[in-house]
């Protein structure tokens, strides 16, 4: 007997798809990884570095990394560069195949 994805032995039914919360957790992890990657790439490109002409002082230097992190998170949340989607597809493929 099956009841919404569970069989009578208490385990997940192989005929039913995985619960959606697993996919959501994987998607969130893949997006967080993409945001971290983008943050490092933005830093390497010089984002968050104080401009020579503006001169915002020590506060600008200390909080510039927070700005770069937020920019990277926004980029990833709006679709990013496709890295999160590729990671998610691979993770779901591996999970479905039992690897």
**Tens digits of residue pLDDT in 57-84:** 777 777 888 889 999 999 999 999 999 9
Which range in 41-50, 60-69, 85-94 is most confidently predicted, on average pLDDT?
Answer: 85-94
The pTM assigned to this predicted structure is 0.66
Distance between alpha carbon 21 and the CA centroid of its chain, in Å?
A: 15
Q: Tell me, yes or no, whether 65 lies in a domain.
A: yes
pLDDT in the model for residue 8: 46
- Whether 1 maps to a domain, the answer reads no
- What is d(CA 89, CA 66) in angstroms, rounded to the nearest whole number? 29
Residue 22: pLDDT band (50, 70, 90) is confident
Q: How far apart are CA 2 and CA 76, in angstroms?
A: 39
**Does the residue 14 lie in any domain?**
no
> For residue 29, is pLDDT > 80?
yes
| Residue 61 neighbours by CB under 8 Å, 6+ apart | 50
> What's the pLDDT score for residue 96?
83
Domain count for the chain, please give it. Answer: 1
């Amino acid at each position: 007997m099956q009841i919404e994805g569970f069989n009578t032995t208490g385990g997940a039914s192989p005929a039913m798809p995985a619960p959606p919360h697993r996919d959501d957790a994987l998607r969130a992890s893949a997006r967080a990884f993409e945001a971290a990657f983008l943050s490092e790439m933005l830093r390497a490109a010089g984002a968050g570095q104080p401009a020579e002409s503006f001169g915002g002082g020590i506060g600008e230097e200390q909080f510039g990394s927070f700005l770069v992190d937020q920019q990277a998170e926004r980029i990833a949340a709006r679709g990013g560069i496709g890295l999160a989607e590729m990671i998610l597809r691979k993770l779901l493929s591996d999970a479905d195949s039992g690897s």
